[in-house]
Amino acid sequence: MIAPARLAAYDVLRAVSTRRADLPAALVRARSHLQDERDRALAGEIATGTLRWQGTFDVLIAAHARRPLATLDAEVVDILRLTLFQLLHLDRVPASAAVNDAVHLTKKAGKTSAAPFVNALLRRASRERDRLPLPPRAIGDAAGEVDYLEQTLSHPRWLVERWRTQYGFEAAEAWCRFDNEPAPLSLRANRLRIGRDDLGEALRQEGVDTEPAPYAPDGLIVTRGNPLLSPLASQGLFVVQDEASQIVGEVAAARPGERILDACAAPGGKTLAMAAAMGNAGILVAADVRARRVQLLADTIGAAGAACARVVQANAAQALPFADIFDCVLVDAPCTGLGTLRRDPDIKWRRAPDDFDAVTALQLRILTTAAAVVRPGGRIVYATCSSEPDENEAVVARFLESQPGFRPAPLHFAPAPHLINSAGHLRTLPFRDRLEAFFAAAVVKAG
């Protein structure tokens, strides 16, 4: 019988490969059919790790098969990828068991004639794991550097070419290595209910070890255990939130008594951070466009005790149903997500350079609607989880060109001033900060 975790991981990869779901949604669906928490964890590890190293595996498959990847059945390719991950990256998985399951999975997928090919290729790859046909690290040769980043470190060529041009080879290499590491679970303590230190102690008593996040003042990094399985998870004491995302909520600089609009608020982590900074005093409108996300937002806010928050369903890309009354509008804009490849490795295989035109047009449209509802003297904080200037500095520049009544305003972050660059923008860089690549900038409306 095929191990349940491997079968679930295969289902995840097929859903992602056929674009029926992104990685988080596919994992939720697949894990729901697994009873054992260890199987749920292993399925997630295999699926996520396979997607991280997919580019490298595709090079190996083509080399060992001696034919282009496009000539192989898509189901067979996914089976080969997930098994190569187990053979090359999971020492605790016996090679014979992984290969045998791959053969059975090939037959289960209706590709029985490919079973001998799958068996032979995987056994050869296992024998030759110490001499894989991958480009070596070659500093000084431009094409060789990009080949290494693309194939050996498993990133799209167009993206690593950008990073190498912007930051140099060694920074691009460190960035790729960062993306290929498993991401820790990050929490933000809900200061409306509990402080970070007290939360850490409460989790410790439940068998969950944490350490303070390096930069985010309310952040905890989980080092052992699963806080989501503890009784504390249902008490509104914390939210799961990436540390770089937490910093965006901090630089929004919400203050007690302000009127604030979080225009693209779901799932609600930044909303709660601003509610805490306001001390629940003021009005915080949390909006999102899709009903399911609005419900998630409402549930999160209700559990956290954010009494100052009001949830509405609204499309931030269209005229908003408000007057120009807000002291601050946070636009956490829809983006390519290219800054979060460590957590969501499927993104790097779904994105392409021609995605930027449509995405940046939407971002500019949302900023323009935000401009209509911020009061004179008020501010807009624009943020993305993208690494690329096209969606960040370029969008802010285009907005300022089209809205002469606004001027740039520097952000501040006292716990780590170096995260604010010379332009006054928040810019986290994986190779420098060991954080996902997030961006934020502020503009102020003339009074």
Q: Tell how strand 283-288 and strand 259-262 pair up.
A: parallel
Say how many C-beta atoms besides its own lie within 10 A of residue 286's C-beta.
29
> Which two three-digit tokens encode residue 44?
């997630």
> Which two three-digit tokens encode residue 165?
């041009």
For residue 178, give the nearest of 208, 154, 209, 144 by alpha carbon: 154
Distance of CA 17 to the CA centre of its chain: 18
Residue 329's contacts (CB-CB under 8 Å, 6 or more residues apart) are 260, 261, 263, 370, 373, 374, 378, 379, 380, 381
- Establish whether 308 is a catalytic residue: no
Q: Alpha helix locations (H) across 305-426?
A: 347-350, 356-371, 393-402
> Which two three-digit tokens encode residue 187?
């929490």
Q: How many CA atoms lie within 13 A of 84 on its CB side?
A: 28
Say how many C-beta atoms besides its own lie within 10 A of residue 437's C-beta.
26
| Burial zone of 265 (CB within 10 Å; 0-12 exposed, 13-18 middle, 19+ buried) | buried
Residues marked as catalytic: 385
